[in-house]
Amino acid sequence: MAAVQPVTVGPYTVGAGSPLLWVCGPCVIESRDFTLGVAARLKQLADRLGLQLVFKASFDKANRSSGKSFRGVGLHDGLAILDAVRKETGLPVTTDIHEAAQAEPAAEVCEILQVPAFLARQTDLLEACGKTGRVVNVKKGQFMAPWDMKNVVAKLAEVGNRRVLLTERGTTFGYGLLVNDMRSVPWMQQTGAPVIFDATHSVQTPGALGDRTGGDRTMVPVLARAAVAAGCDGVFVETHPTPDTAPSDGPNMVPLADLETLVRSCLRIRAALADAPTGPPS
């Protein structure tokens, strides 16, 4: 079995017994002032708890249920806002990449390029991200088995990039529901890549609201704690000051005021496992 290889993300190290990586932020960039405000509060939380925290927000939500839904501010404006977050808070930043042509401009700002789950098998997109030399975080497709992510890691290695994170975010079960198999964490760690657990997209109910995705944010802490207990290397949590008014993924996001309680509970579990092996089984 391959041992998890540590990956450097800005000033942080992920995997191989390093502290948890937290990837946090709103689903989508709504405006400059809004995004900077959320980032400032996350920076305060990171400083207070000593977190390895990466700020996340999408410049474009290209896979909305309805063509009429808000998608974001676009590549140019979105990257400018993320650059401002990086400079004003000192936090590394990440965003979703949907097309190969977006990889190079995003890499000028982002420490991590994130490949959405629906696009996890898109070879051209993976190669474009890999060739930038940035860390590439690939979310496991809802339609993929965890052991199939070894092919994703191989595609990136073939273009010379071994700075790879894999993210578990649930598996499609019937229509409109996702389920989580926590065995996915050690199974994907067997690729040698650190594994992040996406606690908010895992509670989605796709299409449940007709032209919008639903979800149950009350299950986010349950799944996050379970994933930390299973030995994940990081936790992905989308958060918003007022999720019920958010233009994207509101039902899944954790209220910003509640995030610290969730983080502290996960840190306690992580501390309890400090003397236990957290990597893939031998």
Has this prediction a pTM greater than 0.95? no
For residue 236, give its domain range. 17-270
In a domain, 60, yes or no: yes
Tell me how far apart the alpha carbons of residues 29 and 10 are, in angstroms, rounded to a whole number: 22
Residue 50 maps to a domain: yes
Structure tokens, 62: 């290209």
Rg for the chain, CA atoms, rounded: 17
What phi and psi values does residue 24 have, to the nearest 5 degrees? -135, 150
CATH number at residue 83: 3.20.20.70
Residue 11 lies in a domain: no
Task: Encode pLDDT of 241-265 as tens digits.
Answer: 999 999 988 899 999 999 999 999 9
Does residue 257 sit within a domain? yes
How many distinct structural domains can be found in the chain?
1
**Token pair 């449940």 in the structure block, residue:** 208
Considering the domain boundaries, does residue 225 fall inside one? Answer: yes
- Residue 23, Cβ density class (10 Å: 0-12 exposed, 13-18 middle, ≥19 buried): buried
Q: Rounded distance, CA 221 to CA 240, Å?
A: 15
Domain assignment of residue 49, yes or no: yes
Residue ranges with strand state E in 118-247 = 135-139, 164-168, 171-172, 178-179, 195-198, 204-205, 214-215, 234-240
- 8 occurs within a structural domain: no
Q: Is residue 7 part of a domain?
A: no
pLDDT digits (tens, 9 = 90+) for 92-123: 999 999 999 999 999 999 999 999 999 999 99
Which residues, 6 or more positions from 218, have their beta carbon under 8 angstroms from its beta carbon? Answer: none
Q: Which of 66-80, 119-133, 183-197 has the lowest mean pLDDT?
A: 66-80
d(CA 13, CA 52) in angstroms, rounded, equals 8
- Give the helix/strand (H/E) hosting 41: helix 32-49
